[in-house]
Amino acid sequence: MENPQRPLVNQRLYFCRLHLKWMEQALEAGEITRHIVEQSFSESVLFHLVMAYRVYLAEIATAYGSACDHLDDVTALQQLLAQQQLESAEASEIAELQESGWLQHLLFAYESIPTMGSQAQSSLKPEVIPVTQLQQPVIGLDQYKSLLESLEKLIENQRNRLEEW
């Protein structure tokens, strides 16, 4: 039986590849400074990577018989499986990566994105849109490609093991 989460994971990975392609094209065009291009694409790339990760956690849960739409982190997956007295080698591997690996780096970068309301309110007139230099860590194109490749490789390897199971 096809896992209903799989197409959603694949879609998020595809969206991430598209944004990385557009980011690369914008950098090659050189019409906008590198910092601005990287900063503007950072949020969308991180969003799609993290959403792919979260939906993939739900894919694992579904494979073990616990259907859900998405999970915020691997701890939620482990707790969901524990309710059924199940353990998952996939969840254990992801937990290790979340503690000290590329996944930890990805999640930290995503959590560092300023949210609405995290910037101080401006005393400017309502018709004036303030421009603020955001101090979020900006990851370069090559690092994003590496994160995407790592996530895709993890998902592919784990899917192969789950199919055997």
Q: Write out pLDDT tens, residues 108-158.
A: 999 988 775 554 444 445 565 555 555 555 688 999 999 999 999 999 999
- How far apart CA 113 and CA 137 sit, in angstroms, is 8
Q: How many CA atoms lie within 13 A of 40 on its CB side?
A: 11
End-to-end CA gap in the chain: 13
CA 58/CA 6 separation, integer angstroms: 9
**What angle do the packed helices 141-164 and 34-63 form, to 10 degrees?**
10
Q: In the prediction, which pLDDT does 135 show?
A: 53
Give the number of other CB atoms < 10 A from CB of residue 51: 19
Nearest Cα to Cα of residue 13 among 130, 162, 148: 148
Tokens found for residue 134:
């955001």
Residues contacting 102, CB < 8 A, separation 6+? 146, 147, 150
Q: Around Cβ 3, how many Cβ atoms within 10 Å?
A: 18
The rounded distance, in Å, linking the Cα atoms of 132 and 103 is 29
The per-residue pLDDT for range 59-112, each reduced to its tens digit, is 999 999 988 877 999 999 999 999 999 999 999 999 999 998 999 999 999 998
- Confidence (pTM): 0.84
Q: Are 53 and 151 in contact (CB under 8 A)?
A: yes
